[in-house]
Amino acid sequence: MTDRTDRVEDLLVAFLPNLRRFAISLCRSRDVADDLVQAACERALASADRFEPGTRFDAWMFRILRNLWIDVVRKRKTAGVEEDISERQDIAGAVSGEREVEARMTLKSVADAIDDLPDEQREVLLLVCVEDFSYRETAEVLGIPIGTVMSRLARARQNLASAAGISAAPARSGVMKGNA
Amino acid sequence: MTKPDFSDEMLMRFADGELDPQTAAAIEAAMETDDDLVARVGLFIETRAEAKSALKPLLDEPVPEKLATAVERMVREKQAREAAVPPSVKVIPLRPAVPKNVAVRHWTLPLAASIAAVIGGLTGYWLALSPVGEQSGLQVAGVDSAALYQALATVASGQEKQLAPSQRFRAIATFRDSAGAVCREFEVDSPDRSTVISVACRQAETWRFSFAVVAPGTDSGYAPASSTEALDAYLTAIDAKAPMEAAEEATLLRAIAAK
């Protein structure tokens, strides 16, 4: 029985909701996400013997899916297809000063603010804050140094906070200061 | 009072529980008297909690049926392949592979001389080859060659015929090999649900069995894909032509049956 639970084909179906959430957050399109999830499952089943039992299955799946997504983005870039999502993000990053002003005027929902993060900040945020991966595990999934995980994650959270108006309200109030 | 300087990254690591205990203790101590520090740490705690709850609904969303069905099908196929592949599939090369550059006269060699091996092992079912003589050819438990020969000469591709109470013959295709001989690909199911996939070619007015694979059967009766891979390789090796149309096959079979 324990053997069976460590096999890709036995773990895959139950993991679909998580994989799909990660995919939707990554590519911000349900249709693209579902195709991506299916392709990732196909690839996972084809290379199931490369999954090491005892290691994190979710990390393994996220890595497969994210690599497929990187391929899609790369192809879109070289083909110059439609509106390039990551380019849009670059532009958004370049005019962040304006965006902050805009954000202060109209606060976004947290979900929208996450969507608007640059790709490399969003994926780090997803793995650490949403999926509860450690920095080390996140670095392994994304294939980047742990220091890069930390700097991207800090920026992601600062951007998220200002876009969605998140503050540490309970602790920051002047009331507290007054009490002290 | 001089405040210790903690970077945002350090405070984030503190909030995420990724900081060494010593530095964590230092930050905790500083937070007792530094509200700004509390706010900065709070920002990281809040953003994590907010991000998590914002994406929670996505996890509760039902997986679209189309996607779920597709993945479940892939999983089933994988499981079926794994169940089928292991040692239970036995390739029985009745003739050694003919190198491409060797002339076709190999095909006219007596059958017995070219038998490489017969691998048995499936209970209640076996292939046996009797010496060239009064009854050469493929024998299937409980089925006399005559019934099999008759089926080969009469059953159209795509049709089935019961040879014995638990032996079902199924004609798959008729084609010519590189020498122009008429060949038939067929399957025979046995009571234990295993299936023999075989190829028989017309040589000197009789059927010569040149290839057979014993594969575990499935509920559908059809042999699993993995065992047909060996067949595909074999068909490629003998340079099999495309399967005949029904009309051409019918004419040929009538001619064979008349003999």
With CB atoms and an 8 Å threshold, state whether A45 touches B75. Answer: yes
Name, in order, each residue with C-beta under 8 angstroms of B143's C-beta and a sequence gap of 6 or more. B163, B164, B167, B188
Q: Which pLDDT does position B132 carry in this prediction?
A: 37
Instruction: Please check whether residues B49 and B114 belong to one and the same domain.
Output: no
Say if the ipTM goes beyond 0.90: no
pLDDT at B84: 67
Query: A54 and A116 in one domain?
Result: no
Contact (Cβ atoms closer than 8 angstroms) between residue A9 and residue A48: yes
Query: At A90, which CATH number?
Result: 1.10.10.10
Residue B3 domain-assigned? Answer: no
Domain of residue B167, residue span: 83-258
C-alpha pair distances (Å), A28 with each of A123, B41, B183, B189: 12, 29, 56, 51
Are residues A71 and A103 part of one domain?
Answer: no
pLDDT (0 to 100) of residue B92:
53
- Contact assessment for residue B57 and residue B71, using Cβ atoms and an 8 Å cutoff: no
Query: What is the count of structural domains for chain B?
Result: 2
Measured between beta carbons, which residues in chain A are less than 8 angstroms from residue B13? 135, 150
Last residue of a domain, one of A60, A81, A102: A81
Indicate whether A95 and A71 sit together in one domain.
Answer: no
Q: Judge whether B143 lies within some domain.
A: yes
Q: Residue ranges of the alpha helices (H) in chain B?
A: 8-15, 21-31, 35-60, 65-84, 145-154, 225-237, 246-258
Q: Looking at the domain assignment, is residue B118 inside a domain?
A: yes
- Average pLDDT of chain B is 74
Cβ <8 Å between B61 and A41:
no
Are residues A96 and A32 both part of a single domain? no
**What's the pLDDT tens digit per position in A96-116?**
455 555 545 568 899 999 999
B245 and B121 housed in the same domain = yes
Any domain includes A110:
yes
Same domain, B96 and B216: yes
Q: What is the pLDDT of residues B63-101, one digit of tens each?
A: 999 999 999 999 999 888 877 655 444 455 454 444 444
Best B28, B31, B33, B55 member to test A by mutation, with max A CBs in 10 Å, is B55
pLDDT band for B14, please (50, 70, 90 cuts): very high
Angle at A11 between CA A14 and CA A125, to 5 degrees: 70
Is residue A75 predicted with pLDDT exceeding 60?
yes
pLDDT band at B242; cut points 50, 70, 90: confident
Which range, of A158-172, B7-21, B200-214, B221-235, averages the lowest pLDDT?
B221-235
Contact (CB<8Å) B47/A129: yes
In a domain, A15, yes or no: yes
Backbone angles phi, psi at B205, to 5 degrees: 65, 15
Please answer yes or no on whether B43 and A158 come within 8 Å at the CB atom: yes
Residues A50 and A115 in one domain: no
With bands split at pLDDT 50, 70 and 90, how would you rate the model's confidence at B108?
very low
Q: Are residues A91 and A64 in the same domain?
A: no
The verdict on B50 and B91 lying in the same domain is: no
pLDDT at site B115:
31
Residue B169 included in any domain: yes
Angle ∠(B88,B93,B94) on CA atoms, nearest 5: 125
A111–B54 C-beta distance less than 8 A:
yes
Residue B75 in domain: no
Q: Are residues A122 and A160 in the same domain?
A: yes
Residues A9 and A69 in one domain: yes
Q: Within chain A, how many helices (H) and strands (E) appear?
A: 12, 0
Tell whether A178 is covered by a domain. no
Q: Given a cut of 50, is residue B170 above it in pLDDT?
A: yes
Say if residue A122 is in the same domain as residue A153: yes
Say if B138 falls within a structural domain.
yes
Residue B102 sits in the same domain as residue B32 = no
Residue B174 has pLDDT above 60, yes or no: yes
Point out which residues pair with B127 in neighbouring strands: B140
Per the domain annotation, does B70 fall within a domain? no
Give CA A16 to chain center in angstroms.
Answer: 16
Domain enclosing residue A2, as ranges: 1-81
Q: What is the DSSP letter of B47?
A: H
- Does one domain contain both B35 and B98? no
The last residue of one of the domains, among A27, A53, A81, is A81
* Contact: A41, B71; criterion CB under 8 Å: yes
Q: Are B202 and B107 in contact (CB under 8 A)?
A: no
pLDDT tens readout for residues B134-166: 343 455 544 567 788 888 888 998 888 888 777
- Amino acid, res. B174: T
A71 or B215: which leads in pLDDT? A71
Confidence band of B104 (pLDDT split at 50, 70, 90): very low
A20–B58: do the CB atoms touch at under 8 Å?
A: yes
> Out of A18, A24, A154, whose CB is closest to B8?
A154
Q: What is the pLDDT of residues A20-71, one digit of tens each?
A: 999 999 999 999 999 999 999 999 999 998 999 889 999 999 999 999 999 8
Domain match, B136 and B102 both: yes
In a domain? residue A91? yes
Residues A116 and A156 in one domain: yes
Would you list which residues of chain B are within 8 Å, Cβ to Cβ, of chain A? 8-9, 12-13, 16, 18, 35, 38-48, 50-55, 58-61, 63-64, 66-68, 70-72, 74-75, 78-79, 82
Name, in order, each residue with C-beta under 8 angstroms of A64's C-beta and a sequence gap of 6 or more: A40, A43, A44
Residues of B in contact with A150 (CB under 8 A): 9, 12-13
B135 and B246 housed in the same domain: yes
The three-class DSSP label of residue B182 is: strand
Residues 6+ apart with CB under 8 A from B116: B93, B94, B95, B96
How many angstroms separate the CA of residue A84 from the nearest CA in chain B? 24
Residues A44 and A93 in one domain: no
Query: Which one of A41, A110, A160 has the shortest CB-CB distance to B74?
Result: A41
Does residue A92 have a pLDDT over 50? no
Tokens 């060996």 — which residue? B230
Interface test with A, best of B31, B38, B47 (most A CBs within 10 A): B47
CATH number of the domain bearing residue A15: 1.10.1740.10
Strand-pairing partners, residue B38, are: none
Local confidence band at A94 (pLDDT 50, 70, 90 cut-offs): very low
Q: Given this model, what pLDDT does residue B228 score?
A: 64
Distance of CA A133 to the CA centre of its chain: 11
Q: Say yes or no: A136 and A126 in one domain.
A: yes
Q: Nearest by CB to B39, from A41, A151, A172: name it.
A: A172
Nearest CA among B71, B78, B61, B80 for reference residue A41 = B71
| Total tally of structural domains belonging to chain A | 2
Q: What is the dihedral of CA B232, B228, B93, B126, to 10 degrees?
A: -160
For residues B227 and B176, the model is more confident at B176
Q: Is B99 helix (H, G, I), strand (E, B) or coil?
A: coil
Answer with the one of A55, A81, A107 that is the final residue of a domain. A81
Decide: B97 and B211 in contact? Cβ < 8 Å.
no
Which of A109, A153, A180 is nearest residue B12 as measured by Cβ atoms?
A153
Share of chain B above pLDDT 70, in %: 68
State the sign of the Cα–Cα–Cα–Cα dihedral B46, B47, B50, B52.
Answer: negative
- Sequence-ordered list of residues with C-beta below 8 angstroms from that of A21, at least 6 positions apart, any chain: A130, B55, B58, B59, B61
